[in-house]
Structure 1
Amino acid sequence: MEMYKVVIIEDEPVIRMGLVHTIDWASMDCVVAGEADNGRVGLALIREKRPDIVIADICMPQMDGLTMFREANELYRFSMIILTGYLEFKYAHEAIQLNVVDYLLKPIDERKLEEAVEKAKSSLLQMHNSMQYEIYKGLEKEEKTIIDVLPVKNGNIYVEKALQIIHDRYNTQLGLRTVAAELGVSESYLARKFKEGTGITFLDCLNQYRINQALKRIRAGGYRINEISDQVGFTQYKQFAVVFRRYVGMSCSDFLKLSEAQQKEVYPRI
Protein backbone atom coordinates (compact mmCIF):
# COMPACT_ATOMS: atom_id res chain seq x y z
CA MET A 1 0.00 0.00 0.00
CA GLU A 2 1.34 3.44 -0.99
CA MET A 3 1.80 5.82 1.93
CA TYR A 4 0.93 9.51 1.99
CA LYS A 5 4.13 11.57 1.97
CA VAL A 6 4.34 14.20 4.71
CA VAL A 7 6.82 17.07 4.99
CA ILE A 8 7.22 18.99 8.26
CA ILE A 9 8.52 22.57 8.26
CA GLU A 10 9.01 24.09 11.72
CA ASP A 11 11.80 26.29 13.04
CA GLU A 12 11.54 25.16 16.68
CA PRO A 13 13.77 22.03 16.91
CA VAL A 14 11.95 20.41 19.84
CA ILE A 15 8.57 20.66 18.15
CA ARG A 16 9.93 19.56 14.77
CA MET A 17 11.77 16.56 16.20
CA GLY A 18 8.72 15.62 18.25
CA LEU A 19 6.51 15.62 15.16
CA VAL A 20 9.03 13.66 13.10
CA HIS A 21 9.99 11.02 15.66
CA THR A 22 7.20 10.60 18.23
CA ILE A 23 4.07 10.54 16.07
CA ASP A 24 2.93 7.13 14.79
CA TRP A 25 2.69 8.18 11.14
CA ALA A 26 2.42 4.61 9.84
CA SER A 27 -0.89 4.15 11.69
CA MET A 28 -2.24 7.05 9.60
CA ASP A 29 -0.89 5.54 6.34
CA CYS A 30 1.74 8.30 6.24
CA VAL A 31 5.51 8.54 6.06
CA VAL A 32 7.66 11.60 6.81
CA ALA A 33 9.49 12.37 3.56
CA GLY A 34 11.49 15.31 4.87
CA GLU A 35 11.82 18.19 7.31
CA ALA A 36 13.06 21.77 7.24
CA ASP A 37 13.61 24.60 9.73
CA ASN A 38 12.62 27.60 7.59
CA GLY A 39 10.26 28.46 4.76
CA ARG A 40 12.86 28.90 2.02
CA VAL A 41 14.41 25.47 2.62
CA GLY A 42 10.87 24.12 3.04
CA LEU A 43 9.85 25.38 -0.40
CA ALA A 44 12.86 23.68 -1.97
CA LEU A 45 11.97 20.49 -0.09
CA ILE A 46 8.40 20.60 -1.40
CA ARG A 47 9.74 21.01 -4.95
CA GLU A 48 12.05 18.02 -4.46
CA LYS A 49 9.80 15.60 -2.54
CA ARG A 50 6.35 16.61 -3.88
CA PRO A 51 4.60 15.55 -0.65
CA ASP A 52 0.87 14.90 -0.32
CA ILE A 53 0.61 16.75 3.01
CA VAL A 54 2.71 19.67 4.31
CA ILE A 55 2.61 20.67 7.97
CA ALA A 56 4.22 24.04 8.61
CA ASP A 57 4.59 26.83 11.13
CA ILE A 58 3.52 30.35 10.13
CA CYS A 59 6.29 32.42 11.72
CA MET A 60 9.67 31.17 10.44
CA PRO A 61 12.94 32.80 9.36
CA GLN A 62 13.75 33.61 5.71
CA MET A 63 10.18 32.88 4.51
CA ASP A 64 6.97 32.60 6.52
CA GLY A 65 4.73 29.57 6.20
CA LEU A 66 1.89 31.31 4.34
CA THR A 67 4.24 32.77 1.72
CA MET A 68 5.83 29.36 1.31
CA PHE A 69 2.40 27.74 0.85
CA ARG A 70 1.37 30.41 -1.65
CA GLU A 71 4.46 29.80 -3.80
CA ALA A 72 4.35 26.00 -3.45
CA ASN A 73 0.69 26.00 -4.43
CA GLU A 74 1.77 27.18 -7.88
CA LEU A 75 3.70 23.93 -8.37
CA TYR A 76 0.95 21.37 -7.78
CA ARG A 77 -1.92 20.63 -5.40
CA PHE A 78 -1.35 19.23 -1.93
CA SER A 79 -2.97 19.44 1.51
CA MET A 80 -1.76 22.11 3.93
CA ILE A 81 -1.87 22.10 7.73
CA ILE A 82 -0.80 25.22 9.66
CA LEU A 83 0.95 25.25 13.05
CA THR A 84 1.10 28.39 15.17
CA GLY A 85 1.64 29.51 18.74
CA TYR A 86 -1.23 32.00 18.61
CA LEU A 87 -4.37 32.56 16.59
CA GLU A 88 -4.60 35.83 14.69
CA PHE A 89 -7.46 36.72 12.38
CA LYS A 90 -5.19 37.99 9.58
CA TYR A 91 -3.38 34.63 9.47
CA ALA A 92 -6.60 32.63 9.71
CA HIS A 93 -8.14 34.68 6.89
CA GLU A 94 -5.20 34.12 4.55
CA ALA A 95 -5.07 30.42 5.48
CA ILE A 96 -8.72 30.07 4.44
CA GLN A 97 -7.94 31.74 1.11
CA LEU A 98 -5.13 29.23 0.56
CA ASN A 99 -7.53 26.32 1.34
CA VAL A 100 -5.51 25.21 4.36
CA VAL A 101 -7.34 22.15 5.73
CA ASP A 102 -6.64 22.79 9.43
CA TYR A 103 -5.06 25.28 11.83
CA LEU A 104 -3.37 23.73 14.90
CA LEU A 105 -2.31 25.66 17.98
CA LYS A 106 0.89 24.79 19.84
CA PRO A 107 1.56 22.76 21.88
CA ILE A 108 0.32 20.14 19.45
CA ASP A 109 -2.46 17.85 20.65
CA GLU A 110 -1.78 14.45 19.05
CA ARG A 111 -5.48 13.63 18.69
CA LYS A 112 -6.13 16.91 16.91
CA LEU A 113 -3.12 16.30 14.69
CA GLU A 114 -4.55 12.91 13.69
CA GLU A 115 -7.89 14.55 12.92
CA ALA A 116 -6.13 17.17 10.81
CA VAL A 117 -4.27 14.48 8.85
CA GLU A 118 -7.55 12.67 8.15
CA LYS A 119 -9.01 15.96 6.90
CA ALA A 120 -5.94 16.42 4.70
CA LYS A 121 -6.33 12.94 3.19
CA SER A 122 -10.04 13.54 2.51
CA SER A 123 -9.21 16.92 0.98
CA LEU A 124 -6.68 15.29 -1.36
CA LEU A 125 -9.23 12.79 -2.60
CA GLN A 126 -11.90 15.47 -3.13
CA MET A 127 -9.36 17.69 -4.86
CA HIS A 128 -8.30 15.01 -7.26
CA ASN A 129 -11.83 13.82 -7.98
CA SER A 130 -12.88 17.39 -8.76
CA MET A 131 -9.95 17.93 -11.11
CA GLN A 132 -10.52 14.58 -12.81
CA TYR A 133 -14.17 15.45 -13.41
CA GLU A 134 -13.37 18.82 -14.93
CA ILE A 135 -10.82 17.33 -17.31
CA TYR A 136 -12.33 13.98 -18.19
CA LYS A 137 -16.10 14.43 -18.14
CA GLY A 138 -16.23 14.19 -21.95
CA LEU A 139 -13.16 12.13 -22.84
CA GLU A 140 -15.00 8.81 -23.05
CA LYS A 141 -16.29 9.95 -26.46
CA GLU A 142 -13.53 9.21 -28.93
CA GLU A 143 -14.02 12.45 -30.85
CA LYS A 144 -13.36 14.49 -27.71
CA THR A 145 -9.87 15.64 -26.78
CA ILE A 146 -8.43 17.33 -23.74
CA ILE A 147 -8.81 20.62 -25.62
CA ASP A 148 -12.58 20.09 -25.91
CA VAL A 149 -13.19 19.39 -22.23
CA LEU A 150 -10.73 21.83 -20.64
CA PRO A 151 -11.51 25.23 -22.21
CA VAL A 152 -8.91 27.92 -21.62
CA LYS A 153 -10.05 31.15 -19.95
CA ASN A 154 -9.15 34.24 -22.00
CA GLY A 155 -8.01 32.02 -24.86
CA ASN A 156 -4.23 32.18 -24.25
CA ILE A 157 -2.66 30.67 -27.39
CA TYR A 158 0.36 29.26 -25.52
CA VAL A 159 -1.84 27.42 -23.03
CA GLU A 160 -3.94 26.00 -25.87
CA LYS A 161 -0.77 24.84 -27.64
CA ALA A 162 0.52 23.29 -24.40
CA LEU A 163 -2.74 21.36 -24.00
CA GLN A 164 -2.45 20.12 -27.56
CA ILE A 165 1.10 18.94 -26.88
CA ILE A 166 -0.11 17.05 -23.79
CA HIS A 167 -2.83 15.41 -25.86
CA ASP A 168 -0.48 14.47 -28.69
CA ARG A 169 2.66 13.53 -26.75
CA TYR A 170 1.62 12.55 -23.21
CA ASN A 171 3.43 9.22 -23.69
CA THR A 172 6.82 10.87 -24.24
CA GLN A 173 9.27 12.53 -21.85
CA LEU A 174 7.31 15.73 -21.49
CA GLY A 175 7.88 18.55 -19.02
CA LEU A 176 6.99 22.19 -18.52
CA ARG A 177 10.52 23.35 -19.31
CA THR A 178 10.71 21.54 -22.65
CA VAL A 179 7.22 22.65 -23.68
CA ALA A 180 7.94 26.28 -22.76
CA ALA A 181 11.19 26.18 -24.76
CA GLU A 182 9.36 24.68 -27.74
CA LEU A 183 6.75 27.44 -27.58
CA GLY A 184 9.39 30.15 -27.17
CA VAL A 185 8.20 31.44 -23.78
CA SER A 186 9.70 31.31 -20.29
CA GLU A 187 8.90 28.41 -17.97
CA SER A 188 7.52 30.78 -15.30
CA TYR A 189 5.26 32.55 -17.82
CA LEU A 190 3.78 29.30 -19.12
CA ALA A 191 3.31 27.92 -15.58
CA ARG A 192 1.46 31.05 -14.49
CA LYS A 193 -0.71 31.33 -17.60
CA PHE A 194 -1.50 27.62 -17.64
CA LYS A 195 -2.85 27.72 -14.10
CA GLU A 196 -4.71 30.98 -14.71
CA GLY A 197 -6.25 29.56 -17.86
CA THR A 198 -7.15 26.03 -16.73
CA GLY A 199 -7.31 26.21 -12.93
CA ILE A 200 -4.68 23.49 -12.52
CA THR A 201 -0.92 23.18 -13.04
CA PHE A 202 0.74 21.81 -16.16
CA LEU A 203 2.01 18.76 -14.23
CA ASP A 204 -1.43 18.05 -12.76
CA CYS A 205 -2.94 18.15 -16.21
CA LEU A 206 -0.26 15.91 -17.71
CA ASN A 207 -0.40 13.36 -14.89
CA GLN A 208 -4.19 13.20 -14.89
CA TYR A 209 -4.26 12.68 -18.64
CA ARG A 210 -1.66 9.92 -18.37
CA ILE A 211 -3.57 8.16 -15.59
CA ASN A 212 -6.80 8.39 -17.57
CA GLN A 213 -5.08 6.74 -20.54
CA ALA A 214 -3.60 4.09 -18.24
CA LEU A 215 -7.05 3.28 -16.85
CA LYS A 216 -8.44 2.88 -20.37
CA ARG A 217 -5.71 0.32 -21.08
CA ILE A 218 -6.41 -1.50 -17.81
CA ARG A 219 -10.06 -1.76 -18.77
CA ALA A 220 -9.26 -2.96 -22.30
CA GLY A 221 -6.99 -5.72 -20.92
CA GLY A 222 -4.05 -7.43 -22.56
CA TYR A 223 -1.32 -5.34 -20.93
CA ARG A 224 0.87 -5.79 -17.89
CA ILE A 225 0.86 -2.83 -15.50
CA ASN A 226 4.57 -2.12 -16.06
CA GLU A 227 3.88 -2.07 -19.83
CA ILE A 228 1.04 0.42 -19.30
CA SER A 229 3.32 2.56 -17.17
CA ASP A 230 5.80 2.80 -20.06
CA GLN A 231 3.07 3.36 -22.66
CA VAL A 232 1.66 6.43 -20.90
CA GLY A 233 4.99 8.19 -20.39
CA PHE A 234 6.39 7.12 -17.02
CA THR A 235 10.05 6.16 -17.00
CA GLN A 236 9.80 4.23 -13.72
CA TYR A 237 6.99 2.03 -12.42
CA LYS A 238 7.51 3.42 -8.91
CA GLN A 239 6.68 6.91 -10.17
CA PHE A 240 3.59 5.57 -11.95
CA ALA A 241 2.43 3.85 -8.74
CA VAL A 242 2.74 7.05 -6.69
CA VAL A 243 0.89 9.16 -9.27
CA PHE A 244 -1.80 6.47 -9.74
CA ARG A 245 -2.56 6.49 -6.03
CA ARG A 246 -2.59 10.28 -5.90
CA TYR A 247 -5.24 10.60 -8.61
CA VAL A 248 -7.30 7.42 -8.19
CA GLY A 249 -7.24 7.29 -4.39
CA MET A 250 -5.90 3.75 -4.04
CA SER A 251 -2.95 1.64 -5.17
CA CYS A 252 -2.96 0.06 -8.62
CA SER A 253 -2.97 -3.45 -7.13
CA ASP A 254 -6.04 -2.64 -4.99
CA PHE A 255 -7.80 -1.11 -8.01
CA LEU A 256 -7.21 -4.26 -10.08
CA LYS A 257 -8.92 -6.37 -7.41
CA LEU A 258 -12.18 -4.48 -7.92
CA SER A 259 -14.95 -5.60 -10.26
CA GLU A 260 -15.59 -3.47 -13.35
CA ALA A 261 -18.62 -1.91 -11.65
CA GLN A 262 -16.57 -1.09 -8.54
CA GLN A 263 -13.82 0.41 -10.68
CA LYS A 264 -16.34 2.71 -12.34
CA GLU A 265 -17.63 3.74 -8.94
CA VAL A 266 -14.11 4.62 -7.77
CA TYR A 267 -13.16 6.30 -11.04
CA PRO A 268 -16.24 6.97 -13.17
CA ARG A 269 -14.34 8.48 -16.11
CA ILE A 270 -13.23 5.09 -17.53
Structure 2
Amino acid sequence: MRKLLIVEDEEMIRRGLVNTIDWGSMGCSIVGDAADGNEGLKMIRNLHPDIILTDIKMPRMDGLAMARQARDEGLNAALIFLTSYSDFTYAREAIRLDAADYLLKPVDEYELRALIEKLVEKEPDEEKCASHLPVNPLPWQQWLTDETLNPYVRQTMRRIQQSYAARISIERLADEFGVSASYLSRKFKEAARQTFGEILTRQRLYMAARQLSTGIYRVYEVAEQNGFGDYKNFCTVFKKYAGESPTEFMRHRRGNAVRDE
Protein backbone atom coordinates (compact mmCIF):
# COMPACT_ATOMS: atom_id res chain seq x y z
CA MET A 1 0.00 0.00 0.00
CA ARG A 2 1.23 3.49 -0.89
CA LYS A 3 0.84 6.08 1.87
CA LEU A 4 -1.40 9.02 0.91
CA LEU A 5 -1.67 12.42 2.63
CA ILE A 6 -4.54 14.82 1.85
CA VAL A 7 -4.08 18.57 2.44
CA GLU A 8 -7.22 20.66 1.83
CA ASP A 9 -8.54 23.68 3.75
CA GLU A 10 -12.23 23.22 2.81
CA GLU A 11 -13.44 20.73 5.38
CA MET A 12 -16.35 19.41 3.31
CA ILE A 13 -14.07 18.65 0.37
CA ARG A 14 -11.41 17.14 2.65
CA ARG A 15 -13.92 14.92 4.41
CA GLY A 16 -15.32 13.87 1.06
CA LEU A 17 -11.90 12.90 -0.26
CA VAL A 18 -11.10 10.98 2.91
CA ASN A 19 -14.40 9.17 3.37
CA THR A 20 -16.11 8.72 0.01
CA ILE A 21 -13.30 7.39 -2.18
CA ASP A 22 -12.21 3.76 -2.05
CA TRP A 23 -8.47 4.41 -1.76
CA GLY A 24 -7.73 0.81 -0.80
CA SER A 25 -8.90 -0.42 -4.20
CA MET A 26 -6.26 1.87 -5.75
CA GLY A 27 -3.46 0.48 -3.60
CA CYS A 28 -3.39 3.44 -1.18
CA SER A 29 -4.03 4.02 2.49
CA ILE A 30 -4.64 7.49 3.98
CA VAL A 31 -2.05 8.21 6.67
CA GLY A 32 -3.33 11.68 7.52
CA ASP A 33 -5.23 14.79 6.44
CA ALA A 34 -4.45 18.44 7.09
CA ALA A 35 -6.31 21.73 6.78
CA ASP A 36 -3.40 23.92 5.63
CA GLY A 37 0.17 23.80 4.41
CA ASN A 38 1.77 24.32 7.84
CA GLU A 39 -0.04 21.32 9.26
CA GLY A 40 0.58 19.38 6.07
CA LEU A 41 4.33 20.03 6.14
CA LYS A 42 4.56 18.69 9.69
CA MET A 43 2.75 15.54 8.60
CA ILE A 44 5.01 15.15 5.57
CA ARG A 45 8.06 15.28 7.83
CA ASN A 46 6.62 12.79 10.32
CA LEU A 47 4.68 10.40 8.08
CA HIS A 48 6.78 10.37 4.88
CA PRO A 49 3.82 9.81 2.53
CA ASP A 50 4.37 8.37 -0.94
CA ILE A 51 1.67 10.57 -2.50
CA ILE A 52 0.43 14.03 -1.47
CA LEU A 53 -2.94 15.28 -2.73
CA THR A 54 -3.03 18.99 -1.94
CA ASP A 55 -5.03 22.11 -2.65
CA ILE A 56 -3.04 25.10 -3.91
CA LYS A 57 -4.92 28.03 -2.34
CA MET A 58 -4.93 27.62 1.46
CA PRO A 59 -4.49 29.93 4.47
CA ARG A 60 -1.24 30.20 6.47
CA MET A 61 0.79 28.24 3.90
CA ASP A 62 -0.46 27.33 0.43
CA GLY A 63 0.13 24.03 -1.31
CA LEU A 64 2.93 25.31 -3.56
CA ALA A 65 4.90 26.76 -0.64
CA MET A 66 4.41 23.54 1.32
CA ALA A 67 5.62 21.47 -1.61
CA ARG A 68 8.65 23.71 -2.20
CA GLN A 69 9.69 23.40 1.44
CA ALA A 70 9.24 19.63 1.38
CA ARG A 71 11.33 19.39 -1.80
CA ASP A 72 14.02 21.58 -0.21
CA GLU A 73 14.19 19.14 2.69
CA GLY A 74 14.55 16.18 0.33
CA LEU A 75 11.00 14.88 0.95
CA ASN A 76 10.06 13.84 -2.56
CA ALA A 77 6.58 12.34 -2.46
CA ALA A 78 4.53 12.31 -5.65
CA LEU A 79 2.54 15.57 -5.79
CA ILE A 80 -1.00 16.05 -7.11
CA PHE A 81 -2.26 19.64 -6.95
CA LEU A 82 -5.95 20.55 -6.74
CA THR A 83 -7.23 24.03 -7.49
CA SER A 84 -10.27 25.96 -8.60
CA TYR A 85 -8.09 28.28 -10.68
CA SER A 86 -7.41 27.29 -14.28
CA ASP A 87 -4.30 29.45 -14.50
CA PHE A 88 -1.18 28.28 -16.33
CA THR A 89 0.90 30.10 -13.71
CA TYR A 90 -0.05 27.40 -11.24
CA ALA A 91 0.51 24.67 -13.80
CA ARG A 92 4.00 25.98 -14.54
CA GLU A 93 4.92 26.08 -10.85
CA ALA A 94 3.52 22.58 -10.36
CA ILE A 95 5.73 21.33 -13.19
CA ARG A 96 8.78 23.04 -11.68
CA LEU A 97 8.07 21.16 -8.45
CA ASP A 98 8.10 17.90 -10.41
CA ALA A 99 4.39 17.35 -9.76
CA ALA A 100 2.66 14.23 -11.03
CA ASP A 101 -0.34 16.26 -12.20
CA TYR A 102 -2.54 19.32 -11.74
CA LEU A 103 -6.30 18.78 -11.45
CA LEU A 104 -9.10 21.32 -11.43
CA LYS A 105 -11.96 21.25 -8.92
CA PRO A 106 -14.48 19.75 -8.82
CA VAL A 107 -12.29 16.69 -9.13
CA ASP A 108 -13.35 14.04 -11.60
CA GLU A 109 -13.14 10.84 -9.55
CA TYR A 110 -12.39 8.71 -12.61
CA GLU A 111 -9.56 11.00 -13.63
CA LEU A 112 -8.20 10.99 -10.10
CA ARG A 113 -8.45 7.19 -9.90
CA ALA A 114 -6.59 6.75 -13.17
CA LEU A 115 -3.81 9.05 -11.97
CA ILE A 116 -3.47 7.38 -8.55
CA GLU A 117 -3.40 3.90 -10.06
CA LYS A 118 -0.71 5.04 -12.49
CA LEU A 119 1.39 6.39 -9.63
CA VAL A 120 0.93 3.23 -7.56
CA GLU A 121 2.07 1.08 -10.46
CA LYS A 122 5.29 3.08 -10.92
CA GLU A 123 8.63 1.85 -9.63
CA PRO A 124 9.36 3.44 -6.25
CA ASP A 125 12.96 4.01 -7.33
CA GLU A 126 13.34 7.74 -7.95
CA GLU A 127 15.70 7.05 -10.85
CA LYS A 128 12.92 5.17 -12.67
CA CYS A 129 9.90 7.24 -11.75
CA ALA A 130 9.94 9.20 -15.00
CA SER A 131 11.21 6.64 -17.48
CA HIS A 132 8.94 8.12 -20.17
CA LEU A 133 11.23 11.14 -20.29
CA PRO A 134 14.51 11.17 -22.24
CA VAL A 135 16.49 12.39 -19.20
CA ASN A 136 16.25 10.60 -15.85
CA PRO A 137 15.53 12.60 -12.67
CA LEU A 138 18.44 13.16 -10.33
CA PRO A 139 18.45 11.39 -6.93
CA TRP A 140 17.96 14.54 -4.88
CA GLN A 141 16.44 12.79 -1.89
CA GLN A 142 19.34 10.36 -1.68
CA TRP A 143 21.89 13.15 -1.90
CA LEU A 144 20.27 15.74 0.33
CA THR A 145 19.54 13.29 3.15
CA ASP A 146 23.06 11.83 3.13
CA GLU A 147 24.54 12.95 6.46
CA THR A 148 28.07 12.14 5.28
CA LEU A 149 27.84 14.61 2.39
CA ASN A 150 30.17 17.60 2.45
CA PRO A 151 28.06 20.57 3.66
CA TYR A 152 29.24 22.81 0.83
CA VAL A 153 28.36 20.14 -1.69
CA ARG A 154 24.92 19.76 -0.11
CA GLN A 155 24.35 23.51 -0.38
CA THR A 156 25.46 23.41 -4.00
CA MET A 157 23.12 20.53 -4.80
CA ARG A 158 20.23 22.29 -3.11
CA ARG A 159 20.97 25.43 -5.10
CA ILE A 160 20.89 23.48 -8.36
CA GLN A 161 17.61 21.84 -7.38
CA GLN A 162 16.02 25.17 -6.44
CA SER A 163 17.62 27.61 -8.89
CA TYR A 164 18.53 25.53 -11.94
CA ALA A 165 16.84 28.10 -14.21
CA ALA A 166 18.97 30.97 -12.88
CA ARG A 167 22.49 31.95 -13.93
CA ILE A 168 24.56 30.01 -11.39
CA SER A 169 28.12 28.76 -11.53
CA ILE A 170 30.50 26.80 -9.34
CA GLU A 171 32.70 29.90 -9.07
CA ARG A 172 29.88 32.12 -7.79
CA LEU A 173 28.72 29.53 -5.27
CA ALA A 174 32.25 28.88 -4.04
CA ASP A 175 32.75 32.60 -3.52
CA GLU A 176 29.44 32.82 -1.67
CA PHE A 177 30.38 29.89 0.60
CA GLY A 178 33.90 31.20 1.21
CA VAL A 179 35.77 28.25 -0.31
CA SER A 180 37.87 27.85 -3.44
CA ALA A 181 36.20 26.87 -6.70
CA SER A 182 38.69 24.04 -7.24
CA TYR A 183 37.91 22.58 -3.80
CA LEU A 184 34.16 22.76 -4.33
CA SER A 185 34.44 21.31 -7.85
CA ARG A 186 36.51 18.38 -6.61
CA LYS A 187 34.24 17.58 -3.66
CA PHE A 188 31.13 17.93 -5.81
CA LYS A 189 32.41 15.50 -8.42
CA GLU A 190 33.43 13.01 -5.72
CA ALA A 191 29.87 13.04 -4.34
CA ALA A 192 27.82 13.25 -7.56
CA ARG A 193 30.24 11.37 -9.84
CA GLN A 194 29.63 14.13 -12.38
CA THR A 195 30.71 17.73 -12.65
CA PHE A 196 28.67 20.70 -11.50
CA GLY A 197 27.97 21.65 -15.12
CA GLU A 198 26.78 18.15 -16.03
CA ILE A 199 24.39 17.98 -13.07
CA LEU A 200 23.04 21.47 -13.76
CA THR A 201 22.44 20.58 -17.40
CA ARG A 202 20.73 17.31 -16.48
CA GLN A 203 18.38 19.07 -14.07
CA ARG A 204 17.53 21.72 -16.64
CA LEU A 205 16.91 19.09 -19.32
CA TYR A 206 14.74 16.94 -17.06
CA MET A 207 12.51 19.87 -16.11
CA ALA A 208 12.44 21.06 -19.73
CA ALA A 209 11.33 17.61 -20.89
CA ARG A 210 8.52 17.63 -18.33
CA GLN A 211 7.30 20.96 -19.68
CA LEU A 212 7.57 19.84 -23.30
CA SER A 213 5.57 16.70 -22.54
CA THR A 214 2.57 18.77 -21.39
CA GLY A 215 2.15 20.39 -24.81
CA ILE A 216 1.42 23.72 -23.08
CA TYR A 217 4.62 25.56 -23.96
CA ARG A 218 6.49 26.45 -27.13
CA VAL A 219 10.07 25.28 -27.44
CA TYR A 220 11.56 28.75 -27.06
CA GLU A 221 9.51 29.29 -23.87
CA VAL A 222 10.86 26.05 -22.40
CA ALA A 223 14.41 27.10 -23.28
CA GLU A 224 13.99 30.46 -21.55
CA GLN A 225 12.21 29.12 -18.46
CA ASN A 226 14.80 26.42 -17.77
CA GLY A 227 17.98 28.45 -17.94
CA PHE A 228 19.09 27.75 -21.50
CA GLY A 229 18.20 31.18 -22.83
CA ASP A 230 19.40 30.61 -26.37
CA TYR A 231 16.90 28.57 -28.39
CA LYS A 232 19.49 27.00 -30.70
CA ASN A 233 21.73 25.99 -27.80
CA PHE A 234 18.78 24.34 -26.07
CA CYS A 235 17.89 22.34 -29.19
CA THR A 236 21.50 21.20 -29.61
CA VAL A 237 21.88 20.12 -25.97
CA PHE A 238 18.46 18.46 -25.85
CA LYS A 239 19.17 16.40 -28.98
CA LYS A 240 22.59 15.38 -27.63
CA TYR A 241 21.06 13.93 -24.47
CA ALA A 242 17.65 12.80 -25.77
CA GLY A 243 18.59 11.61 -29.24
CA GLU A 244 15.89 13.76 -30.82
CA SER A 245 15.03 17.43 -31.09
CA PRO A 246 12.55 19.08 -28.70
CA THR A 247 9.97 19.30 -31.50
CA GLU A 248 10.38 15.61 -32.35
CA PHE A 249 10.01 14.73 -28.67
CA MET A 250 6.79 16.78 -28.44
CA ARG A 251 5.45 15.19 -31.61
CA HIS A 252 6.08 11.69 -30.26
CA ARG A 253 4.41 12.60 -26.97
CA ARG A 254 1.46 14.49 -28.41
CA GLY A 255 1.06 13.13 -31.90
CA ASN A 256 0.70 15.97 -34.38
CA ALA A 257 -0.65 18.47 -31.83
CA VAL A 258 2.61 20.39 -31.57
CA ARG A 259 2.72 24.13 -31.06
CA ASP A 260 4.63 26.26 -33.53
CA GLU A 261 8.16 27.03 -32.37
Q: TM-score, normalised by structure 2?
A: 0.51
> 1:47, 1:75 within 8 Å by CA — same for their partners in 2?
no
Say if 1:192 and 1:9 are closer, same or farther in 2 by CA, change over 3 A: farther
Distance in structure 2 (CA, Å) of the matches to 1:126 and 1:87: 32
Q: In structure 2, what is the equivalent of residue 57 of structure 1? A: 55
Deviations 1:8-46 (A, max 9, x none): 000000100011111101101100000100001101110
Distance in structure 1 (CA, Å) of the matches to 2:155 and 2:14: 33
Alignment of 1:217-256 (within 5 A): none
Quote how far apart the aligned CAs of 1:128 are: 4.2
For 2:60, give the aligned amino acid: Q
Q: In structure 1, what is the equivalent of residue 108 of structure 2? A: 109
Q: In structure 1, what is the equivalent of residue 242 of structure 2? A: none
Greater Cα offset, 75-84 or 120-129: 120-129
Which of 44, 47, 57 aligns to 1:46? It is 44
Quote how far apart the aligned CAs of 1:55 are: 0.3
> 2:123, 2:129 within 8 Å by CA — same for their partners in 1?
no
> 2:44, 2:75 within 8 Å by CA — same for their partners in 1?
no
Alignment of 1:1-270 (within 5 A): 3-73=1-71, 74-122=73-121, 125=124, 127-129=126-128, 176=147, 192-193=155-156, 195=158, 196=160
Aligned identity (percent) is 43
> 1:79, 1:123 within 8 Å by CA — same for their partners in 2?
no
For 2:4, give the aligned amino acid: V
Say if 1:80 and 1:25 are closer, same or farther in 2 by CA, change over 3 A: same
For 2:64, give the aligned amino acid: L
For 2:40, give the aligned amino acid: G
Which ranges of structure 2 fall in alignment gaps of 5 or more residues?
131-137, 161-187, 193-261
Distance in structure 2 (CA, Å) of the matches to 1:20 and 1:130: 26
Deviations 1:141-164 (A, max 9, x none): xxxxxxxxx9xxxxxxxx8xx97x
Say if 1:107 and 1:33 are closer, same or farther in 2 by CA, change over 3 A: same
Q: Give the number of equivalent residue pairs.
A: 149
Say if 1:121 and 1:40 are closer, same or farther in 2 by CA, change over 3 A: same
Distance in structure 1 (CA, Å) of the matches to 2:94 and 2:66: 12
Aligned-residue CA RMSD (Å): 2.9
Quote how far apart the aligned CAs of 1:191 are: 5.2
Distance in structure 2 (CA, Å) of the matches to 1:60 and 1:35: 14
Distance in structure 1 (CA, Å) of the matches to 2:20 and 2:80: 18
For 1:8, give the aligned amino acid: I
Which ranges of structure 1 fall in alignment gaps of 5 or more residues?
132-149, 151-158, 164-175, 200-270
For 2:107, give the aligned amino acid: I
For the residue of structure 2 that corresponds to 1:70, the secondary structure is: helix
Deviations 1:122-146 (A, max 9, x none): 5554634369xxxxxxxxxxxxxxx
